[in-house]
Structure 1
Amino acid sequence: MCKSAQTAQNIQALLEAEKEAAKVVQQARQYRVQRLKDARSEAAKEIEAYKASKDQEFKAFEASHAGTTQAAQVSVDKETAVKQQEIRTQYESNKDKVVQKLLDRVVLVKPELHRNLTKLG
């Protein structure tokens, strides 16, 4: 019985060691899962901070260049107004001459024989 009791005691010790090992493995898995969650949340925080800083940079860039866009638009509008005024001025100064030339061409009639008709004669 002594040997049998010793064997039973060894088996019991092995079972307890196996349970203890299973607990250790389970704790390691839980620790690993927790570390992954922590790493993901930390990475998400870093990504958000980086995104916020880049958004601020973009807004600053946009604000600094928006003024030049507006200034360019004002400049183009002024140039357009000047050119339109020049065209109106030229129109007003030349319209009478153009109308007179058109009337002269329409009213001026020089009766002459067609060139083919003169060759026949």
Structure 2
Amino acid sequence: MAASSSQGINTLLDAEREAAKIVQKAKQYRVQCLKDARSQATKEIEELKTQKAAEYQAFVAQHSGQSDETLNQVNAETDAKITELQALYEEHKSDAVEKLLKAIVTVQAVPHQNIRV
């Protein structure tokens, strides 16, 4: 019986060693999967950063171009308005001077409206 009991113990020990090996392999597999997942996540993050940076640069380029175009348009409109006002000034300058001189030179002696007579 001792041999049978010893054989049973050896079988149990062998099974325990086999189970320990299986557990160790499972732990190694889990660690390897975590490493792979981290490296894959890092790779995806870098790709996403690159993509978003490119989208941002495209957005900035697109909108800065519109700002330049808008600024050029506003400057052109302002220059046109200034030219128009200068032309109107030159056209009506003599009339304004005549009206001022007429108002200064022509004096009408009329009593003020609040004066009681």
TM class, shorter-chain normalised? 0.7 to 0.9
Structure 1 residue matching 2:109: 3-state secondary structure? helix
State the distance in 1 between where 2:108 and 2:71 align. 56
Deviations 1:25-51 (A, max 9, x none): 111111111111111110001111111
Deviations 1:55-79 (A, max 9, x none): 2222333344443222112101112
Q: Is residue 105 of structure 1 aligned with residue 109 of structure 2?
A: yes
Out of 58, 74, 87, the residue aligned to residue 53 of structure 1 is: 58
The count of aligned residue pairs is 108
Mapping 1:1-121, distance limit 5 Å: 1-86=6-91, 88-101=93-106, 103-105=107-109, 114=117
Q: Percent identity?
A: 8
Runs of 4+ in 1 over 6 A off after TM superposition: none
> TM-score under structure 2 normalisation?
0.77
After the TM superposition, which of the residue ranges 82-91 and 42-51 deviates more from structure 2? 82-91
CA RMSD of aligned residues (A): 2.2
